[in-house]
Amino acid sequence: MLKIWEQSRTTVIFVTHSIDEAIVLGDRVLVMSAAPGRILRDEPISFTRPRSVIGLKTDPRFGASVAHIWGALGDEVLKTKARETAG
Does 1 have pLDDT greater than 80? Answer: no
Among 26, 32, 17, 21, CA closest to 76: 32
Q: Which of 8, 14, 39 is nearest to 26 (CA)?
A: 14
Task: Indicate the pTM of the whole model.
Answer: 0.80
Contact 69, 42 (CB under 8 A): no
pLDDT tens-digit map of 11-67: 888 899 999 999 999 999 999 988 788 999 999 999 998 888 999 999 999 999 999
Ranges of each domain in the chain: 2-86
